[in-house]
Amino acid sequence: MIIGVLALQGAFVEHEQRLEELGAQSVQLRCAEDLQQSLDGLILPGGESTVMGKLLRELDMLEPIREKIRSGLPVLGTCAGLLLLAETIENDSRKHLATMSMTASRNAYGRQLGSFYTEQRFADDKIIPMTFIRAPYIKDVGEGVSVLASVDGRIVAARQRNQLVTAFHPELNDDTTVHAYFLSMVSEYKEG
């Protein structure tokens, strides 16, 4: 199982560590050529969505990634990665990959609560650690999107078929629940 981790900017090394702990291989994606190899899944890490979106365009990576997602490749987007996938960002006129039917709100927790830690249930299963850093949340989801976690009534994790997003950073804690959930999506995709 080989997971491509977008490595233009932000917290990608920690994702690779989590994948390694689960026995999955990862490869860093830094240019359009890197997208030509065969991948079983894709991770879009946290960082700064505006910077990542700009780099994806400049490096001609935006369209090929969008194509892969549209054709069913499993993708995990965390924090800024969630914003890259959102069809609409309510407080930003920019759109990036825009493949997932949801409206996200950027830097949604304001200044005081810019970064915080909490624990909450994920996917009707375990209670897991959640680290938020200048995080977005999901304001609204479209058809076919299931909500996997909420904090104080705000949606912070969701899935639409092959797309999984979290507003928090699952790679920054020891817990591997979210990555394991993602790898089970990858296994289903490979088998299907």
Which are the catalytic amino acids?
Answer: 79, 169, 171
d(Cα 160, Cα 187) in Å, to the nearest integer? Answer: 16
134 near ligand GLN (CB under 6 A): yes
Q: Considering only residues 5, 6, 73, 83, which one is a binding residue for ligand GLN as defined by CB under 6 A?
A: 83
Residues 2-61 that bind ligand GLN (CB under 6 A): 46-49
String of DSSP letters for 70-97? HTT--EEEETHHHHHHEEEETT-S--SS
SS3 100: strand
156 near ligand GLN (CB under 6 A): no
Q: 79 with 107: CB under 8 angstroms?
A: no
Q: Which is nearer to ligand GLN, 80 or 100 (CB)?
A: 80
Backbone angles phi, psi at 82, to 5 degrees: -60, -45
77 near ligand GLN (CB under 6 A): no
> Which residues of the shown chain bind ligand GLN in the complex (CB under 6 A)?
46-49, 79-80, 83, 106-107, 133-134
